Structure 1
Amino acid sequence: MAEFLDKAKNFVADKIANIKKPEASIDDVGFKSVTRDSAIFNSKVSVTNPYSHSIPICEVSYTLKSGNREILSGTMPDPGSLEENKTTMLEVPMKVPYSILMDLARDIGKDWDIDYELILGLTFDLPVFGNITIPISKKGELKLPTFSDLF
């Protein structure tokens, strides 16, 4: 009986390990707009759904870092669902107060950009498995707008 249970556990574990999962990548991070008190940056994330049914996205959590220092973090609750067998583009807006950008003045002053690392966690509600989170990250340079870009 114990041998049968071990075979059953191995069979189930093998099947679960080989199930396709949604895949995601950060395609772009850039400047979107300005307000009186902050700059709004936008990241574009492509997410591929390998299933023949839509999958609800519970939330997108994000952390934006510069020089090992956290600039901001937050969550975007309920951004929608992934269409079946398609790649969906998500836009994740991030509002950065000017006071934080002023703290980064040394990095900005050198080349008018911010060296960043963006860490995203996409949480999905998959049937049978429950909530799973896919972590993705990207490093790069975020060019800041000049006055001519704003007007």
Structure 2
Amino acid sequence: MAELLEKAKNYVAEKVTNMPKPEASVTDVDFKRVSRDSVEYLAKVSVQNPYSTSIPICEIKYSLKSAGREIAAGTIPDPGSLKASDTTMLDVPVKVPHSILLSLAKDIGADWDIDYQLDIGLVIDLPVIGNFTIPLSQKGEIKLPTLTDMFA
């Protein structure tokens, strides 16, 4: 009997492991707007759902790092769901306080941009499996706003 249960357990584990899972990628990180206390950037995330039913997104966690330091982090609770058998575009707004940008003056230098690493954890609720986190990471450069951006 124990052998039969072990075979059944292995069969189920193998099927769950080989199930298709949603895939995601960061498609763009760009300047959005300037406010009195912060600069807001917008990360666009493309998520492909292989299932014929929509999947709820539990939360999106993000962390923006520059020069080896975390300059922004947060969580977006309950951002909606993934469309069935389709690609869903998600917007992840990231606010960076002005005080932190000033402390990055060395990195900003003459080219007026910030070298960054954006880490995103997309937590979705898969049937049978439960909560599943899709980890994403992207490195690049973000342009800082100019005076024309602030008054446009």
- Into which bin does the TM-score normalised by the smaller protein fall? over 0.9
Distance 1:18 1:51 in 2: 14
8 Å Cα contact 2:29/2:44 also seen in 1: yes
Deviations 1:121-142 (A, max 9, x none): 0011122211111111000011
Identical residues among aligned pairs (%): 66
Task: Give 5+ residue unaligned stretches, structure 1.
Answer: none
TM-score by length of 1: 0.95
- Show the counterpart of 1:140: 140
| Counterpart residue identity of residue 22, structure 1 | P
State the SS of the aligned residue for 2:81. strand
Task: Kindly report the root-mean-square deviation, in angstroms, between the aligned alpha carbons of the 2 structures.
Answer: 1.1
Question: Which portions of structure 1, spanning 4 or more consecutive aligned residues, are displaced by more than 6 angstroms?
Answer: none
Deviations 1:67-120 (A, max 9, x none): 211101110111111110000000000111100100111111231100000000
Distance 1:17 1:66 in 2: 35
Q: What is the Cα deviation at residue 9 of structure 1?
A: 1.8
Q: What is the Cα deviation at residue 25 of structure 1?
A: 0.4
1:32 aligns with 2:32: yes
Q: Would you say how many aligned residue pairs link Structure 1 and Structure 2?
A: 151
State the SS of the aligned residue for 1:15. helix
TM-score by length of 2: 0.95
1:3 aligns with 2:3: yes
